Every structure is written in structure tokens, then in C-alpha cells.
Chains A and B, each alone.
Chain A
Amino acid sequence: MHRIGVFVCHCGTNIAATVDIDRVVAAAAKEPGVVHAEDYQYMCSEAGQLKVREAIKEKQLTGIVVCSCSPRMHENTFRQAAQRAGLNPYMVEIANIREHCSWIHKDREEATEKAIILARAAIAKVMLNAPLTAGTSRVVKRALVIGGGIAGIQTALDIAEAGYKVDIVEKTPSIGGRMSQLDKTFPTLDCSACILTPKMVEAAAHENITIYTYSEVEKVTGFVGDFHVEIRKKARSVDMSKCTGCGVCQEKCPSKKAPNEFNRGLDKRSAIYTPFAQAIPNVPVIDREHCIKFKTGKCGVCAKVCQAGAIDYEQKDEIITENYGAIVVATGFDTIKLDKYDEYAYSQSPDVITSLELERIMNAAGPTKGHLERMSDHRAPKSMVFIQCVGSRCADNRGKSYCSKICCMYTAKHAMLIRDKYPDVDVTVFYIDVRTPGKNFDEFYRRAVEEYGVHYIKGQVGKVAPQGDKLLVQGVDLLDNRRILMETDMVVLATAIEPNPDVRKIATMLTASIDTNNFLTESHAKLRPVESPTAGIFLSGVCQGPKDIPETVAQAGAAAVKVVGLLAKDHLVTNPCVAKSDTLLCNGCSSCEKVCPYGAISYEEQEVNDHGIRETRRVAVVNSALCQGCGACTVACPSGAMDLQGFSNRQILAEVDAICR
């Protein structure tokens, strides 16, 4: 005999303002099998949960329905409450009368009607619920960090310091990321390399950290606590165990025509190269596309000059297989391509550059050795124009709708540094808004204006036109209501940032969701900002949204704490709502195996007793550790042998019947 209890939550006014709670309680109480129905202002609160627990005990309830918010929010809360009162946690059903009802309806009558129907469906389902017992799975005490920028390095260091093994996989030949390309950092103007390189060294030296550079994640299977990952270690053509990092090969390499990625293509590098002098590991890579030996077979200079005999033209890609308990995505960002912004003449004039290119020009190790000069004629500029929001906060479909967040501050930094080092250079900044919400940020910007005499003009630039050896900048001053046509020597574009293009591929491998801008989605915008909705996947840095270095480091630490919290457990409770095959009905057709995205279904010969007929048949068997309960097999099965525990076909149809009644 069923004894069902129904608990209707007001959620303050979130539900109660649109849904007549009393009518829902009264309607639920009349349903067959329901022996208890009550409401409370906040059912998820301690007092609300106490009501649930007391009712379960006093009325000997066999199942409960909570009419409240989405199960994503509080299903677990009420399952735990049920368990504390001695009821199997899978005898709990949630009727979502907030997201699916009160929040999306205005009419009280209609919303109340719908809430009653949703409650009725949940009651019909809970009657067919069976107690389920969660299993456990192991936790591999090792974490993977994808991306070796400041976000990845900091996450790895924090995990390693807590005593767990952690591997960093970095696509480029060195860790360091975007931060290694920066010259100075706002708002304190400390040198980027001075604060980053010690962290790189620390990561490389840490006994718990293994770094795979020039490597990419190739395949991910498994699940939280036990991911199986294949890492492709690309052929470096240099034996890392022999190379001493002397650098002679790079000096002697006759091919010096490859665009230097680290300097954003502003100069050239040799075919055998390390991206920058402080690279970790300090072992070069042969860029086979530009290497004469690989292109024509003739050369081999690097092998001849290498005292250590480290050059290995025969080296092949290597696949490393490793198991991890948790994975952190820290894939960072790049600047957008500017081909849709031809009005700024970026493709037409070498004197129109991006801010990241200016970072390299200002850097002592950059293409101009830190001297501010034009890339066209190497003359020092007398005036410079900075254009903000190039591709950010874009209303049309050319750029990004979001604010890239870092540009206001780095532009103020650039302007200030230039005025400080070259007081003769006139600096103008065109902006839409100046956004400086950070500790000591607005003070920093005001110093640029007030102490360093940077001209800030509110208005956008419509055209940059090369004219002779000058650039004409045409814009507006919105505060003065006048058009501006000015000559300048250099134009710097604060180009919007976007997630690293590879993130789509990685997110697909991890089944981690991404938004329309390719930023990885966090599990909850406020309460779970460093977790992906996919269990065991964590987010660090700009892959989740635009942020500056302090925020990135803070988030990196937060992601590390979440990883450590997971790795500290010996076992994880598994979801018992997995598929199960009825061996009597299964005809061994393999339809389910073909649709299973997790490889959880296999076949075995089993002896079955089909109404007295004993025979051996080939039947499907579900590996409950691998099954994620997606239900694809239950739909594919032609004989109805596959069913999802907790969401059986009978239960779903009972819900539909209740709704249509």
C-alpha cells in the first residue's frame, strides 16, 4: 500500500505569487495514495526539511513528492532529507513548479492549473519508483590540467601542494601562455616575466607535477574519478633527455623565415626554436613545415652542431595513456581575427597593430628590443592613437557582444608607460566607456589622465586611413559633439579576446558544455563558478569568461580546491539510475550497443529460462560504472528489453497518463 506525502514550497513569492499554493495542496491531497500534503514558505530550509523528515516518520510515508524548484537545484537536498528519515532517497520525486511554471507564466489561474498537473504526474511516477542503491566507484588520485598558461600553472601548483599528482598538457613548446608575452602588468606595473617565470620554474621542479609540452589531449573516456586520457606528445625532433638547451642549433639554423608566433608574427624565427629565452622546458622544437631538412632532405646543420647529439629527425609522435580523477580546462584565449574590421586598416598598414603586438614591441626581448618604433620604417612615433572595443561590445554580427574586460586597463597601462618613457609622444585614446572595476583600477586609469596627460576621447573611430607615411584617424568626440580627423603615426587596436579556438574540440571530448561565444559554461553562474556541469570537469581562467590575471589566479586556486576535494575522497557514489537489460526480452540485436555514447554495453552468452525453455542466448549487459543514464539505448531497443532504472518506460507513461487525465 502506497503512502505518499506531498510538500509544496512557496519559494518566498517565487512560486506563491503566481501559483495558488492552497489549491495545489488541496488537489494533491485528493490524489489516490496521498496520505499527507502540506506547504511551507521555504521547503529547502532546515525547518522545511524537518517537516519532511517528521512527516515521513509519523505517517510512515513510502514515497514523497516535493513541488518546488528544478531538480537540478534541490533534488539532492530532499533525497538526503529522506535518507535521514529512513526512506530510500530514490523514493523522492520533484515536481518543478518554479522554472517550469511560476517563472514562465503570468496568469495565476493557468499557472495553478499547471502546477496541479505537474504534481499529479510526479505522484503517479513516485508510486512506481523502486528503492535503488547507489554503488561506488574509485577515484584516481591524479589530476589533468589542459593548458599551461598562468591559469593552468597556478591550478597545478595548488593541487600539487595539496599532495596530489598533477599533469599539465600544453600545446605549444613551452608553458607560460599569454602572460609570458606581456611586458608589464596592471595596476602595479610589475614586469610580467618577473612574476611568471618563477612560477614556471616552480611548476617544472615540483615533484608532483609532470609537464607535457608540445602535446595535445587526443581522447578522453571514462567519468568523474576515473577518466582515461590519451595524450599525443608531438614529435619534437629533439631528444629531451639529451638536449642541454645551449641554443647553438637555433643560431646556426639556416632557415629563418618562419613567422615568430611568440612575437605575434612581427618578426621571423629559425625552424628549430624555443618560443622565448625563458621557455620551460628549455628544449627546442623543429618546426617541420619550415625545416629545410624535412622539406628537401638536405641540411642537417642542427644535428652537426649539436654537441649533445640530441637532434632526432626520426622522432615520432608518442601517445601517452594515463588515468585521472579530475580534469581542469585552462585553455585560455586568443585575440579575434580583424578581417571583418577593414576600416581600421590593420591589413593595410604595418603601423596599425593590436595591443598584444604592442606588448611585444614594448618588451625588451621583443622584435624591437623594447624600443617603441613603427614596424614600417622603424622610426619612433610622435603620436599614437589607441582604439578601444575593437570587436568587443559589438552590436552587429562582426564581433563579440561581450566586453573583453581587460582592454580598458591594459590600454591605460600602455598609454601611461609610453608617456612615461617617451614624454614627447602624444597619446590619444578613443573609448566607448572606461570600465575599471577592480582594486586600485580606477585610480590607475585616473593617473593616466591626470598625471600622464593621456587624451581620452569618448567616441568611436570610423576609419583609419594610411596617407603617405602617416595614418589619418577619423572619429567623433561625443562629449564635444564634433567630428575629429587627426594624423598620427601609430594606431593600436584593443582587439577583443575570444576563447582559444581549440576549446570546441576539447569541450566535445569532455562532453563539457560551451556557450554561443565558445566560453565553457559553469555549473552555476554564482554558486558553482569553477565547475562544469559535467562531473569531474573544472574550469580555470579565460576559457570560462574574460578575466584579468588576478581574477585568473583566484579562479585557478578555486578550481584546484574543488579538484582536491574530489581527489581526497576514496570512493564516489555512483548514480544508480542506469540502464538495465531484461535478458528474457533481449534478442541480442546490438541496436543499443551502437547508440551507447559511453561504450557501456557489451554482449555475453547467457543461459535463460524462457517460460520453461532453457537455452543459451546472446544478451546485452550494461556496465553500470560506465553507464551515464542517458537513456539512448531504451529508445533504440526494438524489443523493449532496455529500461532505465528510476526512469522506466512504465514510470514515464504513468506521468503522461496523469498529465492527460
Chain B
Amino acid sequence: MVYSYYPGCTLKNKAQDLDRYARMSAEALGFTLQEIEEWQCCGAVYPLASDEIATKLSAVRALNDAKEKGQDLVTLCSACHHVIKRVNDDMQHVEDIRTRANNYLKLDEPYLGETKVLHFLEVLRDRVGFDTLKEKVVRPLTGRKIGAYYGCMLLRPSSVMAFDDPENPTVMEDFIRALGAEPVVYPFRNECCGGYISLKDKPLAGSLVDKVMESAVCHGAEELITACPLCLYNLRNSGSREKVPVTYLTEILAEALGLLPEKEAPDHAAASGAEGQGEYAEGGDADV
């Protein structure tokens, strides 16, 4: 099975792990992520202004590319996923946006929202199946207590994202369980990390991250996973309280599938927030 794949800017530099481990794992699980050609930045923020059209065009181009190939479009980054799925929904349901985007792009055939947009987790859950995933695990993450951090954008608005209950989601917990680890459910797993506010008001982002970390630790999480580069940045770098390690969900997936060489596999006994911070220490102004 081949899927069109939209990586997004961050996955090409700061979040290369998210991208790399996803592709490796996909092959091991029997599907291919085929990067679409000449993709552009999704804009990173879904434009709420109803008369704003230019910032939606990039998503439409990517969606149309997948349509022409007859493939579903897979994304990984929460922000890209959010933007592309919502723009696709607009193309399906908002006549004004659909008309204006098509007038502007002058495609051979108008794009009417035909492409199905899937998050990588949806592919694992609905196409591969967590039971099959469990069978393919060669190095189960037995004994590890992992908390899923959903953030706010992955599942909301639920009517458009339509992939899990935004208030009490289970998809990442089921994923963690399939890998042999113990999922830790904590209430603030779907709260905002602060997002881009960390550029402007660091203490505010810090207060939000502290709340998430405290909730996770209090419920027994020893590490966190996320799908979002910006969430990962904030969880690692904002706030003042003691942290647990944060990694991308694709990293533990690759690890459980036995795709990491022994030395590359993160040493979780020694892992701490500081490890990741090196990589991101100067990254605060670049791509987040």
C-alpha cells in the first residue's frame, strides 16, 4: 500500500526523527509513505478569516496532488494535519472557498475535496490495525509507563478531525499498549502546550507546560510521546518543573519494531529533559 505523504517543513529540519522513524516503521509494517513533489509549507496555522484564501492554497495543492495519484494523503505533524484536514473540509463544504481556490489555481480539473486525509495514527489504527502492529513488535516496551500527549490541535475540532473523542481520547493509549508498554492516562493530555506563545510570553507557555507535566507525573507517567514538533519543543523547553523525557511517537514505534540499532535506542534510564534540549536550545526562533 502506497500513501501520498506530506511531511511539512519542521520534519525536514528540527523534527527529522519524527519523519525518519515514520518512514522506516511504515516499510516494516508493509506500507510506503511516498512524499508528494514540490509541497509547500502548510502555513502552520489554519486561517480562521473567512475571506483569507491565499494561505489555504498550499494545502489544496497537496490535496490535489494526492487526488491525481489516486492515493490517500498521510500527515504526521499535528499542525500540518490540522491545517490540511480543515482546508479539505472547507473544499468539501464551503462553496465560496471552493470556488475561489479553484479559480485561483486553475487546475486541469477542479478540486472538490475528494482526497481522504489520514493522520499516521489513523493508518496504524484503521488500516494496519493495532492487533497486527502488536504481532509485528519484536522488542516490546514492557514495563515502560508512557503517557500520550495529544495537545489541542490533533483532535479538534472533532467534527472535522473526526478521529477520536477530543475530551477522552484513546488512540495513542491503544498504540502504546500495542507496543507492549503501559499507557498512562492523565487528564491534561489534551490541553494546550502554549504553542507559539512561547516566543512572545515564555512564562505563560511555561505555566501551561508545567500543568501538563505535573498531571502526567502525578498519574505515574515516566515518559511522554507526542505527534507534534511544537508540543515537543514546549514540553522540553518551557516551564520550570522537573520533567520526564518526551519523544515522538514514531521513535518508540521504530524502537519496538526493532529498527533502531542498539546504540541508537534511547537509554531511558538515563534520559532526561536535558538530552533533547541540546538539539533545540537554539531552535526556539527558527521553525517553531
Contact = CB atoms under 8 A, between A and B. Distances in A.
A467 interface: yes
Given A345-B187, A472-B187, A465 B215 contact: yes
Interface string B205-220: 0000001000100100
A591 to B, nearest CB: 45
Interface string A392-404: 0000110000000
A343 B167 contact: yes
Contacts, number: 25
B187 A467 contact: yes
B218 A467 contact: yes
A118 B245 CA distance: 77
A466 B211 contact: no
B188 interface: yes
Contacts of B188: 463, 465
Interface string B147-171: 0000000000001000001011000
Contacts of B17: none
A342 B211 contact: no
A297 interface: no
Given A468-B218, A485-B211, A463 B191 contact: yes
B190 to A, nearest CB: 9
Nearest to A347: B168
A345 B187 CA distance: 9
Given A342-B167, A468-B218, A463 B187 contact: yes
A342 B218 contact: no
Q: Chain B interface secondary structure, helix, strand, loop or mixed?
A: helix
A485 B215 CA distance: 13
Contacts of A485: 211
A467 B167 contact: no
Nearest to B218: A467
A467 B211 contact: no
A603 interface: no
Interface string B168-206: 100000000000000000011001000000000000000
A99 to B, nearest CB: 31
A467 B165 contact: no
A397 B157 CA distance: 12
A397 B168 CA distance: 17
Nearest to B214: A467
Contacts of B159: 396-397
A342 B165 contact: yes
Contacts of B165: 342
A422 interface: no
Contacts of B187: 345, 348, 463, 465-467, 472
Contacts of B168: 342-343
Contacts of A396: 159
Nearest to B211: A485
Nearest to A345: B187
A467 B217 CA distance: 11
Interface string A329-364: 000000000000111010010000000000000000
A467 B215 contact: yes
Contacts of A463: 187-188, 191
- B167, B191, B215: most-surrounded residue (chain A CB, <10 A): B167
A341 B167 contact: yes
A474 B214 CA distance: 14
A22 B188 CA distance: 70
A468 B188 CA distance: 14
Interface in A345-391: 345, 348
Interface in B213-231: 215, 218
A463 B192 CA distance: 12
Interface in A412-471: 463, 465-468
Given A463-B191, A467-B187, A467-B215, 6 more contacts: A341-B167, A342-B167, A345-B187, A396-B159, A465-B187, A468-B218
Interface of B: 159, 165, 167-168, 187-188, 191, 211, 215, 218
Interface of A: 341-343, 345, 348, 396-397, 463, 465-468, 472, 474, 485
25 contacts: A341-B167, A342-B165, A342-B167, A342-B168, A343-B167, A343-B168, A345-B187, A348-B187, A396-B159, A397-B159, A463-B187, A463-B188, A463-B191, A465-B187, A465-B188, A465-B215, A466-B187, A467-B187, A467-B215, A467-B218, A468-B218, A472-B187, A472-B215, A474-B191, A485-B211
